Amino acid sequence: MVQFSSKSGHTFHIPVMGTGFTIDTPLKVAKFGISSVISLVDDLLIEQMRKFHCQRIGEPYNEITEKDDDYRANRITAYLNFIDSQVKKQVRNLRNSPFENGSEISQYYEMLPETGLKKLYYEMLDTKEIDKKLHIQEELRDHVVPGSIDVNIMTKLDRDIYRNGVKQPPEFSDALSALRGFAQSTLDASIICSAGFNRRFYSYFAQFKDFYPDVDNYIKKKIILKVSDFRSAVIQGKFLAQRGLWVSEFRIESGLNCGGHAFATNGFLVGPILEEFKQRKLELTEMLHSIYYKSISASGLTSVDTPREMRITMQGGIGTAAENDLLHKHYNLDATGWGTPFMLAPDVVNIDDAHLEKLIAAGEKDVFLSDSSPLGISFWNLRNSASEENRRANIHKGKPGSRCIKGYLVSDTEFTELPICRASSAYQKLKLNTLQGEELSNEQTMYLKTKVLEKSCICHDLAGSATLKNGIDTDAKPSICCGPNIVNFSKVTSLQELVDHIYGRISLLTNADRPHFFIRELMIYIDYLRNELEKFMMGVSDRNVEYFTEFKNNLLKGIDYYCDAAEKFFSDKKNQCVDQLMKLKEDIEQLCVQQPFELCIEQ
């Protein structure tokens, strides 16, 4: 069989969070067998963090500047190699540490779930015979496996690069350069592709041998696709399989109950989506393997065995050990992702003290689904973050918008030949001027003006969590992209405590009235539908009646699905949850009939 890297005993991972929050999280958690994800969007931040950590530990640092050839890819490669080498050193030290209270190897095993190797660890602790105890300890040392140092690329952030006014070849675009940086690194890890299908980007994988089996049938660098539904998995998986590239994992994320950018489905809820993956996983595996095998055979790379391992994971809004267990047991998931709660763990992510306090105090109204992203994609935001406060202050001073410092999110060519960012002062000035000349009602003008001014410089400000905390930029004004789940956790915590919470050994929840995460996602979708309907009625939406009809029907089908399996999903809170679902069903029906046109009525 084709080999995959050894898996640790953990059944969860820490997803990417912004660009700065998890930029160096592997240095803090990988030695304990916990996988986490680094964003490859911001190569300037990556270079700053390499310098910071090299100076912190006394390692030599040679700067890679924008004057250097292929600087973006080289910065990424250098940083990932540094992280890789440091984690390997950490793991060697951990393996050699004594089995005693507080030691790193004891922490490693104390954090594992209560299965497998944890039982061997308990056996070692209970063993009185010295020789046997030492023998088990050596076996435990051999089983220490670091968490994976994975990376994330938003595939649609693929800006073409110009130098001295000359457009560079396609391989120097942002996404392709980031992919090259990862491919050329020493990492044995995975790349998570998120935010959509980019044919140019996916085709570029074929340039690098580490994405193919080696002579021992080992795939060093694996591909993970973050998808919102089964159809997306089929389309993207086929495209890669046709190029001899195997998808080792499909990572399902809730469309709206997540952090950062939120990609709403047309009302498809995560429960029914997971059910389809559960029912059709074998079909998906066999279909993609057939295409993959033909492609890799034609290339001459095949052997008797080709990969069939395909992991299905999920992330977004999970808050309790019971919900975590439900996902593993009912849907047979290989792992779950826990993001937002870790924003309260300063030993895991980058977060300064001031924003840590703001997150602790955050209520429902403080965390909102905004239009802050220049990409035109919904974005979860903390209302009183320094970034948001600065944006509002600039508007108050009559100087809206930002100076475009990094340019990773430039995408608009409405006024310029070369793309500019919608959060920039230049764009906002031009856009506001055009609104004055259009035939719009006062209501439409005010709404559209608000939406122009709502855009903020997140590509720079998301790095602020790391640059401010580590003293790289003491004037940074961080953007905080927590998900709505943050309101259920209201105290500073640690890696150990959060792992214990995930596995049900303790509970860190501070909101006793928190709805089940299936129901919370439904509530967010209803709010989203309400906002879309309001825009439609105002005449500032490109949606049509068919969109709303499909959206409503998909929500109602999701409610029926949850009600049919209520005993499995909600256990002792079955009646309470069913009542909530019925009330939300009434809200959907009432929301639609309130509109002055026949919406959402099945033919």
pLDDT(603) > 70 = no
Q: Is the pLDDT of residue 1 over 50?
A: no
Biggest CA pair distance of the chain: 87
> What pLDDT score was predicted for residue 324?
97
Mean pLDDT within 210-225: 90
Q: What is the mean pLDDT of residues 294-317?
A: 81
Kind and range of the H or E element at 252? strand 247-253
Tens digits of per-residue pLDDT, 234-279?
999 999 999 999 999 999 999 999 999 999 999 999 999 999 999 9
Q: What is the pLDDT of residue 298?
A: 84
Task: Provide the residue count of the chain.
Answer: 603
**Pairing between β-strand 311-315 and β-strand 247-253 as defined by DSSP bridges:** parallel
Q: Please, which contacts does 569-572 make with residues 24 or more away whose CB atoms are closer than 8 Å? A: 569/271, 569/326, 569/330, 569/516, 569/518, 570/516, 571/322
Instruction: Identify which of 38, 36, 37, 35 has the alpha carbon closest to the alpha carbon of residue 6.
Output: 35
Pairing of strands 166-167, 162-163: antiparallel
Query: pLDDT value at position 215?
Result: 79
Q: Give the 3-state secondary structure of residue 58.
A: coil
pLDDT at 2: 36
Q: Check if the beta carbon of residue 261 is closer than 8 Å to that of residue 369.
A: no
What's the pLDDT band for 319 if we cut at 50, 70, 90?
Answer: very high
Comparing 528 with 512, the larger pLDDT belongs to 528
- Residues forming a β-bridge with 370: 379
Of 33-37, 358-362, 400-404, 463-467, the range with the lowest mean pLDDT is: 400-404
Using the predicted structure, report yes or no on whether residue 599 has a pLDDT greater than 90.
Answer: no
Phi, psi dihedrals of residue 419, rounded to the nearest 5°:
-60, 145
What was the pLDDT predicted at 303? 55
Mean pLDDT check: name the lowest of 22-26, 196-200, 381-385: 196-200
Backbone torsions φ then ψ of 52, nearest 5 degrees: -60, -50
Percent of the chain with pLDDT over 70: 96
Residue found under tokens 């998120």: 194
Find out whether 196 and 176 touch, Cβ atoms under 8 Å.
no
Distance of alpha carbon 241 from alpha carbon 308, whole angstroms:
12
Instruction: List residues bridging with 193 in a β-sheet.
Output: 153, 225
User: Of all helices (H) and strands (E), which one includes residue 222?
Assistant: strand 222-227
Interacting residues of 18 by C-beta distance below 8 A, sequence separation 6+: 39, 260, 462, 463, 465, 479, 481
Which residues have a Cβ under 8 Å from the Cβ of 258 and sit 6 or more positions away? 315, 316, 317, 339, 380, 483
Q: With cut-offs at 50, 70 and 90, classify the pLDDT of residue 7.
A: low
Q: Which residues contact 474 (CB under 8 A, 6 or more apart)?
A: 468
Q: What is the pLDDT of residue 361?
A: 97
For residues 523 and 261, what is the distance between their CA atoms, to the nearest angstrom? Answer: 18
Sequence-separated (6 or more) residues with CB below 8 Å from residue 560:
none
Average pLDDT over residues 447-465: 95
Report whether 24 contacts 51 (CB < 8 A). no
Selection from 360, 336, 340 nearest residue 348 by Cα: 340
Give tens-digit pLDDT for 324-340.
Answer: 999 999 999 999 999 99
Q: And the tokens for 297?
A: 């055979």
How does residue 592 score in pLDDT terms, banded at 50, 70 and 90?
confident
Who wins on pLDDT, 217 or 363?
363
- pLDDT (0 to 100) of residue 279: 97
Integer distance in angstroms from the first to the last C-alpha of the chain?
A: 52
Contact 476, 468 (CB under 8 A): yes
What is the reported pLDDT for 417? 87
Instruction: Evaluate whether 249 touches 243 at the Cβ level (below 8 Å).
Output: no
pLDDT in tens, 356-379: 999 999 999 999 999 999 999 999
In 3D space, the residue among 474, 462, 486, 520 whose CA is nearest the CA of residue 345 turns out to be 486
Three-class HEC string of 261-305? ECCCCCCCCHHHHHHHHHHHHHHHHHHHHHHHHHHHHHCCCCCCC
Q: Which two tokens stand for residue 59?
A: 């390692």
- Give me the pLDDT at residue 6, please: 40
- Angle, CA of 557, 558 and 559, to the nearest 5°: 90
Tell me the pLDDT band of 594, cut-offs 50, 70 and 90.
Answer: low
Mean pLDDT of 575-596: 87
Across all residues in the chain, what is the average pLDDT?
93
Q: Is the pLDDT of residue 509 over 60?
A: yes
**Which pLDDT band, with edges at 50, 70 and 90, does 304 fall under?**
very low
